[in-house]
Every structure is written in C-alpha cells, then in structure tokens.
Structure 1
Amino acid sequence: MKKIVIVGAVGGGATVAGQIRFYDKEARITVFDRDSTMSYAACGTPYVIGDVIEDETSLIMASPEQFKEKRNITVHMKHEAIEIKRNEKKLVIQNLETGQQFEEAYDFLILSPGGTAVLPETEGLSTTDYFTLRNYEDMQRIKDYITSSKPASCAISGGGFIGLEMAENLRHLGIEVQLVHKSPYIMSILDPDIAEEIEDELKANKVHLHTGSSITKVDHRRLTLSNGQELEADFLLFSIGIKPNTELAERAGLSIGDTGGIVTNEFMQTSDSSIYAIGDASENLDFVTGEPRKVPLASPAHRQAFLVARHITGHAEKKTGLLGTSVVKIFSLTAAMTGLNERTLKDKEMDYETVVHRGNSNAGYYPDHAELTLKVHYDIHSRKILGAQCIGRKGIDKRIDVIVTAMYGGLTIDDLQALELCYAPPYSSPKDPVNMVGYKAVKN
C-alpha cells in the first residue's frame, strides 16, 4: 500500500489527492496545509470582495471532513511542513495551533505549496492600511475592512490580473481607484496596442491610471510615486507578483530553476524521483521555445495534478509545454492571450510576422454583436503559430481557445482558413475571425 503525502490543499494539492484516489482505491493519502481553508476557487476572490458573488462559501469546493468521508483522504489544516528528511523519506510537520512537531513518513511526496504575494519594501507602509490578495483569508480580511471602515478610495499597485479584477470590483462598490503600474502600459504580458484598449476601458470607468511609476513612500493617506507625483488613498492593495514558495524544497536540496521554480521532469518529478512538484512553485517548459517557464495559473496546476496521479499509479503520461493561456474581464471588455507576445519574440530574435484582424464577433446585421481584434504571431519559415491575443466585448475566449487547439495540434497559420467552425448569426460569421486570420496570412 503506497503512502502518499501532499503539501498544499488548494488547487493542485487537493486535485492531485482526488485524482490519486480515483486511480488507486487503497493508497494512504495525507494532505497538510498551513492555511485554514482548503480546496477553494482563488480566482473568484475579487468577485466576492466586489459583491458580484454574494456567498463567499460558494468558493469552497470541499472540506477536510468531506475529503475524509467521501474519498478516505486525511487533510490537516493549519499544519506546516518545515523539513524534508529525504534519506529517511520523512516530512517534519508543525501544528501551527499547538506548536507541536511530528514526523510523517512517505513513499511519495507531492509539493504543491503555491506562492506568496510580493510585498515591496515601502517607506512608511506601516502608517496605512494595506493588503495583498492571495488566499481565502486575505479575501475575508479585505471584505471585513471594507465593511467596517467604509473606505472611499484605494490605490492598487500592479496592473496584472489581480490588479485589474480588483479595480473593477472596487469600482463596483463605488470606491475610487488609483491604479499604479511600474511598466509603461497595463497588463504587460499583452502587446502594447492590445493593452491600450484595456487602458481606455479603465479610464472610461473612472479608474485613474499611473503607468511607468511605483509607490515609493507612504504617509498615512498620502502616497508618493517614483515620478514625484502624490496621491491620496484610504488603503493600499499590492498585486505586483507572486513569489513561489520553494523554501522547503531549497532546504531539502532539490533543484531550483532559472525561473525560481522547482525543476521538474516530464512526469513532474523533482531532482528526487520520490518527490513531485506541481502548481505555482514548479518550473515547467514553454510550449513554443522549449525553455524553462513558470506559469502560476489554475489550468496548468490541474493538468499537472493529473500527470502526477497517473505516474504514481503506474500510467505514465508525459507533460507538454505550457502556453500561458489566460483571459481577463475588465468591466465590459475581455482580453485573452496564448503563447508568446511581441516583446518576447523580439527579445529572442525570432523571425516572425503578425496578422491582425479587426471585425465583428458575429454577424454585423444581428442586433447582439461587438467589435473584436484578433492578433496572431507566426514563424516566417515554418508558418507555425507562436502566439495570439484577442480583445473585445463578445466571443473573445472562444477565438483564443481555437488558436490554442491549433497550436497543440501543430497547425500552421495557413491552416486556420480551412477550419470549419460553428456559424449562425448570433454566434459568428460564415468566415469566422479565426478563418480571416488564416486567409490574410496566405501568400501569393
């Protein structure tokens, strides 16, 4: 009987536990997590804060009691793994409520520790109320603060996924938002022309943008930016990035890659074959370049959980590279992307061309249609698709999903014109925007 120990009970950790049980009814599975809530949908937390999702408990997918009753999996919350004794195949655990330490033996150890929100050193930060949003407890703290203190304004540091989603949800509550972003344009993973449309949408919804700057000093409600500008805000929210929780792995001597994540092989094994790593703290490979890449998103974590479960239970399947496919809602606008952006393509000096199609989400004569922009980068020589971005108010995600499928299937930019995609006036046009990109790329 295999003894499997998992560090982390959110996303990848909870999923891999359930997947292993599906394939192995006899294995002894034990999960440890230092937080108090397991198996919750972290991506929904901004919408709970904004009262879009009224019942915060709807984010919780399972409890330790349910895992035990339905799947015979033991989950210990508020228990932190502090040491891996690799030679003995034992994990040292500390009960965070009692301080007691004990050892847990394993045949296989799965690390799914996630990441920690980056909090920059900022002069005077202790003089004001500030938050990060990384877990369920962070969400509760922010929501409780808004309910009790009734702030009129907030400054958000960071214009990535969480920053944009929080800007929308705070505006939904009537809170004034100042959005400060270090890069020259918002949502730096996108191309500048796509990001510009997001900036226009933010401004139209009265979000005040401060790009190319950062918060350097705080004096109660007064904030000083790196460009010398001063702002006022009742509280701060930092969303400038995530640091993978690799300390446990580092202390155990496991290999850490150039991206800062735990190095994994094609089966998600670390440099110790009895230890696996998944989720935000693991390093993987880029689908296009084959180079190391870290993608802290939910879908890859769930896929990695499946691969580990299959490998441990004797059904090895190799991982594929990651594209970093993502989508974000910004008020009535949606932006999605996959693969490489212009900046990366130029940095790597890749020979590429770009096709841009601006058209409608569906038939222009149908009342419910909207404009969209679909932008696709492709290799000049092989014609393989390298990356794509789409932005608009309707039908954005499905276009990028088609491109993703094409990339995984090895299709070229020219193949897109031949795809027989769904058409009816409420949904598309006889030549879908994806087809149009293919037609535009065909050379004489």
Structure 2
Amino acid sequence: MEKIIIVGAVGGGATSAGQLRFYNKNAIIKIFDRDTVMSYAACGTPYAIGEVIEDEESLLMANPEQFKEKRNIEVHLKHEVTGIDRKEKRIRVKNLETGEQFLESYDKLILSPGGTAVMPDIKGAQTADIFRLRSYNDMLAIKEYIQSHKPQSCTISGAGFIGLEMAENIKELGIDVHLIHKSDYIMSILDEDISREIEKELLLNEVHLQTNAYITEIDQRTQTLSNGDRLETDFIIMSIGLAPNVGLAKDAGLEIGTTGGIMTNDYMQTNDPSIYAIGDATENFDLVTGEPKRVPLAWPAHRQAYIAAKHINGEPIEKKGLLGTSVLKIFNLTVAMTGLNENTLRNLEIPSVSIVHNGNSNAGYYPDHGKLKLKVHYNPDSRKLYGAQCLGTKGVDKRIDVIATAIYAGLTIDDLQALELCYAPPYSSPKDPVNMVGYKADKKK
C-alpha cells in the first residue's frame, strides 16, 4: 500500500491530498503543517480585516477532523518537518506543542511549503507595531490589534497585490493610510500607464502615496524614509514581497532554480523522482517565452496539485507554462493582466506592438455601464499574442480571461476579431472590446 506524505496543509497541499484520495482509495495519505489551521482561503484575508467578510472563520475550508472523517487523510497541525532523508525515504518531524521528534517514512513526498512575507532588516523595527499578512494567524493578529488599539493611522510598505488590497481595506475602516513603494510606480508587473491610473484612484480615495521611497529607520511611531521624509503612524504593514520557503528542499539537496524556487519537471517532480514540489515555492516556466518563472498565486498551486496527483496515480499530464493571469480590486477600479508586460518585452528584446482600446464595458446607452481600457501586446510579424492588461470599473476580468484563453490556444491578434462573444446591452457591445482590439490591429499590418 503506497504511502504519500505531504508537507503543507494550505492551498496546494490540501488540494493534492484531496485529489490523491479521489483517484486512489487505498493509499496512506498524511499531511504535516506547522500552522494551527489548514486549508484556508488566504486570498480572502485582506477582506476579513476590512470587515467586507464579516465572519473570518468562513475562510476556513476544512479541518483535520473533516479530512479524516470524509477522506481518511491524517492531518497533523503544529508539526514541523525539519529534514528529509532521501536515501531512507523518510522525513524528520517535530511536534511543536510537545517538542517530540520522530521519523515518518514515505513512498512519495509532496512539498507544498509556500512562502514567507519578507521582513527587511530595519534599524529600530523592534520598537514599532509591525505586521505582515501571509497566514490566517497574521490576519487575526492585525484584526485584534485594530480592535483593541483603535489606531488612527497606518503605513503600508509595498504596493503589490497585498499592499494595495490592504490599503483599500484599512482605509475603509476609517484609518488614515500612507502607502510607500520602492519603485517609480506601483504594481511593477503592470505597464506604467496602467499603473498611473491606479495611483489616481488611490489619491481620489485619500490614500497618501509615495513612490521611489522605502523605510530606512523606525523609532516607535516615527518612520524615516529613504527620501528623507518622516511619517508618524500607529502601525506598519510590510508587504514588500514573498520569499519561497525552500530551506527544507535545499538542505535535502533538491535543485533550486534561477528564480529561487524549487525546480520541477513537467510532472512537478524534483530532481528526486520520489519528491514532488508544488505551489508558491516552485519554479515553473513562462508560457510565451519558455523562460523560468515563479508565480505565487492560487491558480498555479491548485493546478500543480492536480498534475502531481495524476502523475503519482500513473496518469501523467504535462504542466503548461504560466501566464501569471491575475486580477485586483482597488476601490472603484479593477485591473487585470495576463502574459508579458512592456518592461519584460523590452528587457528580453522581443519585438512587439501594442494596441490600446478605450471604450465602454457594455452599451453606452445602457444606464449601468463603465469605462474600460484594454491594452494588448503582440508580435508585429507573426501577430502572436504576448500579453494584455485591462483597467476599468466593470467587465475587466472577463476580457482578460478571453485573452488568456486566446494566448493559451495560440491565437493571433487578428483572431480576436472573429471571436463570437456574448452580447446584450447590459453586458457588452456588438463588437466587444476584445473584438475592437483585433480590428484596430488590422490597421497596423
């Protein structure tokens, strides 16, 4: 009887366990995680802090008892895997409550260790109330602080996904927000013109934004910035990046890629065929360029969990490259993206042309319509699609979903003209914005 051990009980780890049990009713499946909860919706934590989600426990998708009762899967929380003996095919585990250590054998091992929110080494950091948001317990700590201390102001360092979601949710609680970002413009994975529109939305909602700045020193409520400015706020949220948790893999001699993630083959196997790696800590490849790529988002983790489970079950499905398709809400705006942006195309010296369509989300005469900006990059010769970004108040996500599908299918910019997309006045126009981009590109042949 095959024994499968999984390290990590969130996202990819819990999903892979469920998939394995679905395809194999007899395998012994055990999960170990050092956290106190499992299988929670990490992407919902900013909205629980902002009280958009009123019951934070609704983010908990399952517990060990349910996994045991419904799936016959053992989940051991507060248990940290501290080492892997590849030769003997066993792991070393520490019970964080009792201090007990023991060995657990495996036939197959799946690593889903996730990542850790980066905490920079800043002079005086220990004197301030500083939080990171990476886990369910991080969320509880921030909520408890806000409820007990009634802060009036907050500094958020880093304007990526988490930083922007936290800026909105903290502001909606009536707390004054200062958002600082090290680069010239926020959300560096976007094109600059799209990013600047988001900056305007932040300012309209009275978020104090400073770019080209970062915290160099902290003295209780005072933060000194790299540009010489000083901020006085009650607490700080650090969201400057995510470091993949690869220590366990590295110590075991598993290969680490150029992006800092665990290297895997087409079936999520590491250089040890008995060990698989999935989720935020893994290195994959870009669907368009084939270059190494690490995408710490929910969709890749869940897809990789399925691929690993199918391979273990003897039904191999090759992974495909990643586009990094994602979407973000910022107050009244939504921005979504897929594929390559201008900076990446420029840095890789890939010839490209961009088409921008400014229009409506749906029929302009229909009372419920919004403005929308759709920008698509493509190759001027082959007409191959490289990537797209969309910004607006309505219908943004579905346009990027269509283009992500088109890139996956190998369609060209001209094929966008011919896509027969849904139309009724509340939803679109006879020529959808995606169609319009294709028609506009016809003029650039």
TM-score, scaled relative to structure 1: 1.00
Match of 1:300 in 2: 300
2:369 partner amino acid: H
Match of 2:89 in 1: 89
Match of 2:381 in 1: 381
Match of 1:164 in 2: 164
State the shift of 1:381 in Å: 1.9
1:42 partner amino acid: A
1:402 partner amino acid: V
2:272 partner amino acid: D
Q: In the TM superposition, what whole-angstrom CA distance separates every residue of 1:26-57 from its partner, at most 9, and x where no partner exists?
A: 11000000000100000000000001100000
Q: In the TM superposition, what whole-angstrom CA distance separates every residue of 1:346-387 from its partner, at most 9, and x where no partner exists?
A: 000000000000000000000000100000000122111101
Match of 1:270 in 2: 270
Quick one: distance in 2 between partners of 1:132 and 1:335? 24
2:61 partner amino acid: M
Are 2:231 and 1:226 equivalent residues in the alignment? Answer: no
User: How do 1:343-362 and structure 2 match up within 5 A?
Assistant: 343-362=343-362
Match of 2:144 in 1: 144
SS of the counterpart of 2:196? helix
Q: In the TM superposition, what whole-angstrom CA distance separates every residue of 1:211-257 from its partner, at most 9, and x where no partner exists?
A: 01101111111111000011111000000000000000000000000
What runs of 5+ residues in structure 1 fail to find an aligned partner? none
Match of 2:238 in 1: 238
Match of 1:33 in 2: 33
User: How do 1:411-430 and structure 2 match up within 5 A?
Assistant: 411-430=411-430
Match of 1:155 in 2: 155
Quick one: distance in 1 between partners of 2:309 and 2:223? 48
1:245 partner amino acid: N
SS of the counterpart of 2:280? helix
SS of the counterpart of 1:10? coil
User: How do 1:175-254 and structure 2 match up within 5 A?
Assistant: 175-254=175-254
SS of the counterpart of 2:154? strand
Match of 2:73 in 1: 73
Aligned residues with identical type, % of pairs = 69
State the shift of 1:442 in Å: 1.2
Are 2:56 and 1:56 equivalent residues in the alignment? Answer: yes
Quick one: distance in 1 between partners of 2:26 and 2:285? 33
1:49 partner amino acid: I
Match of 1:12 in 2: 12
1:121 partner amino acid: D
Q: In the TM superposition, what whole-angstrom CA distance separates every residue of 1:387-439 from its partner, at most 9, and x where no partner exists?
A: 10000000000000000000011100010000000000000000000000000
State the shift of 1:127 in Å: 1.0
Q: In the TM superposition, what whole-angstrom CA distance separates every residue of 1:315-366 from its partner, at most 9, and x where no partner exists?
A: 0000000000010000110000000100000000000000000000000000
What runs of 5+ residues in structure 2 fail to find an aligned partner? none
Quick one: distance in 2 between partners of 1:65 and 1:352? 53
Quick one: distance in 1 between partners of 2:61 and 2:246? 26
2:36 partner amino acid: S
2:298 partner amino acid: A
SS of the counterpart of 1:54? coil
